[in-house]
Every structure is written in structure tokens, then in C-alpha cells.
Amino acid sequence: MAEFTLELNDDQKQVRDWLHGFAADVIRPAASEWDEREETPWPVIQEAAKVGIYSLDFYAQQFFDPTGLGIPMAMEELFWGDAGIALSIVGTGLAAVGVLANGTEEQIGTWIPQMYGDAADVKVAAFCSSEPDAGSDVASMRTRAVYDEAKDEWVLNGTKTWATNGGIANVHVVVAVVDPELGSKGHASFIVPPATPGLSQGQKFKKHGIRASHTAEVVLEDVRIPGHCLLGGKEKLDERLARARERARTGGERVKNAAMATFEASRPAVGAMAVGTARAAYEVALDYARTRTQFGRPIIDNQGIAFQLADMRTQIDAARLLVWRASWMASAGKPFTAAEGSMSKLYASETAKTVTAQAVQILGGNGFTREYPVERMHRDAAIYTIFEGTSEIQRLVIARTLSGMPIR
């Protein structure tokens, strides 16, 4: 087990600098265009694939970094470039995490490579959990998966919403209800292979921020998939459902559902995304405050501006520390006894909203225009307190963990 450290090793620094260069040279120059177009930036994703950033190998190397810092370091640098484009590059990762968290070794080896494709034929994947009437309240999920034993097939019906890459993905990972009486414990995750009949894209959302990332509904109408597309396999599912039924009857150990397992693993990474956006806005504001002159001196000489920048930098560094701690704990197999993963996501998300708003204020009228990137960064930052568990849900998870209450 690697010791927790605040110092990146030489290999990590080399990767960080490489990612920062790509973010500065490729992502940032394209950010405004794709934000305005509100389309998936396929050329940028392809460039990322060509240099090896958008690939299974790269994310595997970062995921298995023994210090746990590979993924948060990568997320921070890419989202420093631009949140919308970066989410298009890393959005496939949530579906991959869904397979890693719930799948067998064979499923991991079969499906994750198909999520990325290759530099000559780039693919994306989608993780589909939220529904029109089941966002934070995962127990209200209605998408059903019914097993057809005669054909060894699962039949999926329902509508998913807020799915990153939904409908345009090569592979969809869908969370569905297999036993309605068990609430959130009666869920399972399924792979929907490419070109499966019955899966279609519903509404594509026009969003406030992260507009270069595709977000849409996914409609499932009598979608039939082979039995082996149930992540983890039917034997494991039957055992888990039996434990859940026994617990419902007598009380006992808590059983995690498929969606919660994915979100729990990804929350520190979302915190790192927020840190990247906050840091980008802070750097723009700092540079502006040093060069913008009013009343015969740079505005950073005014205490009101200087103190804002001091608070912004302090909050960013504190957020990064929480993210790194949670990431190291997850890598080291240490349990989140105080919901440290949710803590990191909560604090970093709120920091991104606060810091980007302060950056707009420091730039004044210029910050309110699209001539400067802080306007876009402020819009992008709003998503961090919403997706993969709202700030309110993070506080609920933290409070219930501290009190010993069950997390549903």
C-alpha cells in the first residue's frame, strides 16, 4: 500500500505536464467554438485518441496508480482546459467504472475496449441511471429488466435521462429494476451492445453549461440483450437479491445497489473536475487583477480584490487535498468511514461555484461577456453541485454515515 503523500513522483509530474500541454494547446483554443455549437467535439476527442489520452490503456494506468492520484490529477488538468470538452473526453469513463464496479473479468475485458474504439474509429459509452422521476431518489427507478429464461435474455423497458453520450454511445450501461419489492436493492446493471434494436435517443438537452458534452434521454422499448450482458452474472445477482430479501425480513447487513457502487467510486474524480475548473477561473482572475489598472494602480493592490483571490486559492487547495485524500483511501482499500468521497465531491463542487462567481466579479463587466472564459467557466461550474449526487445528497450521505443510519 502506497503511503499518502502530497508530492507527485517524477512519472506523475511528467504525465501531468503532458496533459496540461494538451489542455492548453488543443482543448482551450477549441472551447468557445464547441460551447457555442453545443455539439460533441469529435475532432478533439480524436486528437486525444491519437496522442493516447482517450484510450483504455491511459485510463487503466491512471486507475491502477498505487497512490490513487492518477485519475484526480488527470481530471484536474483536462477540466482546467475546458469542462465541456473534457467531459466529452472522459464521459465514457463513468460507464467503464460501472463495468469495473459490477462486472466479471470477462465482461471487463470484452466491453470496456468497445467503449473507446481506437484512434482511427473513436467510440464513446454512456452510463444510464437517472430517470425523469428518479434522480436523487434512485429507489423510485421504473426501468424494468425481466428475465426470459427460455431464451436466456433480459428484456429492458423504460426511459433514462441526463445520460452523458446517451443515444450516440457505442455501448450503453443501463441500471434497471429486477425486483421492485426490494427498492434500490433490487437494481442491477446491464450492457446494451451496439446497434441493439429498441434502444433510441430521446430528447437532447440544451444546457446552461458543459454544452460541448452530449446529454440526452435514452428510450428502451423491448430491448432484448443476451443473458451474459447482466453485469456480474445471474448467479451473483440471485445471491445478492436473496441477501437483500433476508435483510428485509430480519434486518442485517446492508447491500449496495449497482448505481450507488458506481457513484461511490467516481465522486472524488468529479471533485477533481471541479478543482480544475475552479483553478482555471482563479488563474484568469489573478492575471486580470495583476494587469487591470484602475485609479492609477493594478486592482490586485486593492484589499477587496486581494482578499478574494486569497480565499479563492485557499479553497482550491483545500478542495484538492480532500479529493486526493479520498482518492488515496479508495486506492488503498480504506473504507470511507466518514463519507470522505462525498466530502471531497461536496466541497470541491461548492468551491467551483464560489470561485468562478468571484472570478466573474473580479473581471467586472468583462467577466459577464463571452470575450473572457470566466463566463463559460461559471456556467460550467453549476453542474458539479448537481450531477452524480447533488450537494444536498452529499450532505445527506455524510450525515447518515456519521450517525450510522443506512444510506438508501
3-state secondary structure (DSSP) of residue 397: helix
Residue 255: pLDDT over 50? no
Residue 251 has pLDDT above 70, yes or no: no
Question: What number of CA atoms fall less than 13 Å from residue 268's CA on the CB side?
Answer: 25
DSSP 153-180: EEEEEEEEEEEETTTT-SEEEEEEES-G
The DSSP 8-state label assigned to residue 382 in this structure reads: G
Average pLDDT on 176-187 reads 90
CA dist., res. 79 & res. 277, Å (int): 6
| Residue in the structure block whose three cell numbers are 460550467 | 380
Q: What angle do CA 395, 384, 129 make, to 5 degrees?
A: 80
Write out the H or E segment, with its range, that includes residue 263: helix 258-291
Known active-site residue 388: yes
Give mean pLDDT, residues 227-252.
87
Cell numbers 437517472 correspond to: 130
pLDDT band at 264 (very low <50, low <70, confident <90, very high): low
Mean pLDDT over 216-227 rounds to: 98
- What does the pLDDT average to over 54-66? 91
Q: Tens of pLDDT along 389-406? A: 899 999 999 999 999 877
The span from the CA of 245 to the CA of 176, in Å, is: 18
The DSSP line for 222-249 is EEEEEGGGBTT-HHHHHHHHHHHHHHHH
Task: State the first-to-last Cα distance of the chain, in angstroms, to the nearest integer.
Answer: 31
Looking up cell 479508495 gives 330
Residues 6+ apart with CB under 8 A from 365: none
Grid coordinates of 331: 486506492
CA pair distance 27, 341, nearest whole angstrom: 28
What mean pLDDT, rounded, does the chain reach?
A: 93
CA pair distance 353, 329, nearest whole angstrom: 26
pTM for this prediction: 0.92
Which of 77, 217, 375, 388 is catalytic? The answer is: 388
Report yes or no: 128 and 163 within 8 Å, Cβ to Cβ.
Answer: yes
As a whole number, mean pLDDT of residues 281-296 equals 97
- 160-170 residue pLDDT tens: 999 999 999 99
